[in-house]
Structure 1
């Protein structure tokens, strides 16, 4: 079966997470992704052994961080500080569709890997850059990691409850969001090239991506001069848009934005019929005015049954909008996740049969797939030079002797 980006070649000169995840997403859609790595040590993500106090290590000297970020790729290891190393890239760029990099501003230019240079070899190349703060402005040259994206974007003060300090988020959320936007940008640029016959630069940053992620809150700040405030759970303005702990310790999340529509059925389902016409709670305005009192009642009510019991009741007695609050570790056994292949099985040549994060986008005729594990450092150097670069075996041997590859 054909794939969406089948025939598209991507040169991936990225490290850590933001850039690598973007190209992995494009690889899932069928692109041939060639990861360009320093021959001396490769992507530093290869060496990450611990994250938030837990080991990242897998069998065969691998780690889950690099494995997730770099599946569906080939690895080309070389020394870009050597002229012949750069010449390899210039030769490959002629046959590539996309070049992606996420190094600090100025690094690509110093090494002759910038858009101005590479576009001389291929004017239709899509040159994508992932940065911390964008390529313009006073902070464009500053170094940045995922944490700075969280900090600068304001999201650390938007999550949690009012009296909490700024809160971090696990999993490289800024990197993930930046990666998604970078893949989005590359796809749009490929379409523009197909329609208009032009190559161009694509610039995506942590900061810009996190502004997009928080679009509604940022719009509130811009248009009404206020941000959506942190809200204490015990004082939520809409008690039917809140979460409650059940008897078994599990939590249930309610999401009834049009709460009046559900109020009568909700009271009957929970066995609190006497509250339906109670003057304190009879409409949304009253419930907001007396939210703390109602939430206290609902806390006690939900604590009388397990989540499974409440799930059965709410499904039988109305068309309620609710879900259980899960741990990340619950996702692999969630039937919706499994059925939609958001987590998928993969036969790994070293790790055996494992589960991997699948694609969130479903295509009926050109499905996304995981076809390759993360590569060993330089695993495909000879193959790429021979097949794409058209180097002879003698030339490849000489490049290896000279320490270029």
Structure 2
């Protein structure tokens, strides 16, 4: 047994490494590294590490290095924005080890508090998107969009292998969807859905709302044209904008995905952040990820549980609706508590303030002679420079 453990978990031994190198027609591991690592990221300099540093000395050195950083306001947008985590959430959730986990719990029913918090997250997403069902989060918006493409193929009756992607989607979303499409043998068409979409030839489409350039357009026309051809509409939506905008569920969307980062989760050098995934009740057995449901225990009291688990990989293996069941439970809990903390009135105030600030900038730019390319917008502007 001990030898089997070493074989399975410790890695290749000297004999196996020699066999691998012989098969690859290479003479050494250094030569393998030269072949594999791109030249533009290869570092040939041997790191010089100072020895005998105490913990206090290392901390002082890191603080000194940190002071060299220049902190700027991020103006990139594209799905990630500055936000404020309320102190009560930071202290009682983020800094509380009792909430730490990247997953929905394996002994789910023991963790009633966590399940209730994730149920709140699901309900928040359902309310803002106007959809019937939401899962307990996914990795990020781009992954959720790729999962949505796979789900579109599962639930449509069309034989097409073509999936249409709005050119105004965030670039990271397009990149991940393209990677998934390549692996599944789907053909991706990228263009303007209001101009280039041929609903007869696709099994589904992904539209950004608002677009990556900030533009807000109605979705019903696209939804109607797709549904007339038995195709599925997925909308990648900004969750904060849905506080003010007409939700995708009221405009014919079949699936709504997005990122909950704006709900109290600062950017943190790019992540992590909880994605959301929402759809209609008739598609619930095709949804990826974990779903929290409310049942009753043997005493008749309310009890939260993991619902519809027969979709998942620990039961259906390779036939699961998704083999990325990893969620961002901690971040989803924070986003749900952020909505509870502020309430509907507070969220309206925040979204309204964000839009007003954007409007002030738009008016100022117009007065200065710049041309705005956005007819309608929430918080992002595209400006044409002279």
**Which TM bucket (shorter chain)?**
under 0.3
TM-score scaled by length of structure 1? 0.21
Bigger Rg over Cα: 1
